[in-house]
Amino acid sequence: MRILLDNFSKSFGATKVIENMTFEVGHGEMLALLGPSGCGKSTTLFAICGIHRPTGGRILFGDRDVTDLPSQARNIGVVFQSYALYPHMTVAENIGFPLKVKGMATADIGKEVDRISGLVHIGNLLGRRPAELSGGQQQRVALARALVRKPDVLLLDEPLANLDAKLRLEMRSEIRRIQRETGITAILVTHDQVEAMSMCDRIAIMKEGEIVQIATPAEMYSDPRTAFVAGFLGNPPITFLRGVMANGAFVIPDSEIRVPLPASVSAPEGAKLMLGVRPEHFTPTGDISAPGNVTFAETQGRENLYDVQLNGGSLLRSIQPVRHDVNIGDAVTWAIDSKNALVFDDDGRRL
């Protein structure tokens, strides 16, 4: 079921958190609300599930206006960051709770619980209490509880934040698998760009209560609308060079680096610019050479990560297949891949 937020606004007292936000999540789509903490993504989620009431605008599930409906009447499933399992109930009771409050017969609840616990692979844990489960198992229980009553919408509030790295990887694909199998419309709130990119069909990047850009992960990575978006996506993150416009090229003053810009980039002569270079676009195979000294080297197993301080003082990051010939302090002459460099104006807008 599609979700539409139409001119949605939310403020707490005099504090305006979100103003006039509009976006749509298509049927069966999984959308990530990505942003740093305090950007209003959880507030948006809580408004969608009805815990917070919007101060302005409308929220539609399909064609149904749910703006003024309480949570109980919205038919949504939510996985909270802390999972919010009921400690005094067993796993089966936790999962069956949404059905129990609906007044479903015990036998039917049992059947549904069995079905959904099979889906999330916790069929063997039904008799335990939440305190006797590991973090990943609790996560699965929370997911099962959110899905058991076949909600129109699944909302996930930082569902992986409390898991260790390995479990996070596992649950990432699990959640995506379950979302695909059930075909449910889902919204994921996260501050982790890897989660957002790997799990979702589209990403909505938020900053200070506004959506900066909505796009597919690939689009957003290669075609960010602002420097903020470019900086938020990608791991290791992008690095920026500061320079000026000179004769249709990006030039760093007091340096021989000169990156010709495509004709589509229009900026007045001498305007301050930022050039975003992703680590994979600063390698020995680029076309604009930028000599410097290695100030940081880190091996990640398959790849090595280097920070290179250019002769002008700017910093570029490089990621390359593992090699053993470069150490900290070495002088290197690697090159920027100018076709993939991203140009931003001084305010961070993409040019």
Partner 1 sequence: MNTSRMLGLVMIAPAAIMILLFFLMPVVLTGVFSMTNMTTATGISGGAYQIAPHSLNDLKSTMPDIAEQMAQPRYAIDEAGMKAVEGLGLDAGIATELRAKHIGDVFQTRREAERMIKGLDQRPSTPDVKKISEQFNRSVVNSRFSSKEELFSALDTLGFKLTDAQKDSVADVTYTGWNWTTENFSRIASSPDMARVLFNTLLYVALVLVLFNTAYAMLLMIWTHYMPSAPATIFRSIWLLPRITPVVIYVLMWKWLAWDTGFISVLMGKFGYPPKNYMLDNAYNAWVFVVLINGFIGASMGMLVFSSALKAIPKSQFFASEVDGASRWQQIRYIILPQMRWPILFVTCYQTLSLLASFNEILLSTRGGPGKATEVWSLAAYHTALNNYAGNLEYGLGAAMALVLVVIGIVLSLGYLRIFNYGTLVSRPLIED
Footprint on this chain of partner 1 (rule: CB under 8 A): 46, 49-51, 70-72, 74-78, 80-82, 84, 86-89, 97-98, 100-102, 131, 145, 149
- The least CB distance from residue 162 to partner 1, in Å, is 12
| Cis status, amide bond into 130, omega within 30 of 0 | no
The helix (run of H) or strand (run of E) holding residue 198 is helix 193-199
- The least CB distance from residue 21 to partner 1, in Å, is 21
The DSSP result for 245-267, as a single string, is EETTEEE-TTS--EEE--TT---
**Complex with partner 1: residue 49 or 251, whichever CB lies closer:** 49
Q: Are 36 and 207 in contact, with CB atoms under 8 Å apart? A: yes
**Complex with partner 1: residue 161 or 305, whichever CB lies closer:** 161
- The least CB distance from residue 71 to partner 1, in Å, is 4
- The least CB distance from residue 70 to partner 1, in Å, is 7
**Complex with partner 1: residue 148 or 197, whichever CB lies closer:** 148
Per DSSP, the three-state class of 110 is: helix
**Complex with partner 1: residue 88 or 121, whichever CB lies closer:** 88
Q: Are 203 and 172 in contact, with CB atoms under 8 Å apart? A: no
Residue 273 phi/psi, 5-degree rounding, is -130, 160
**Complex with partner 1: residue 45 or 252, whichever CB lies closer:** 45
Report which residue type is found at 349.
Answer: R
Q: Are 72 and 149 in contact, with CB atoms under 8 Å apart? A: no
Q: Among candidates 276, 273, 294, which has minimal Cα distance to 284?
A: 294
- The least CB distance from residue 265 to partner 1, in Å, is 48
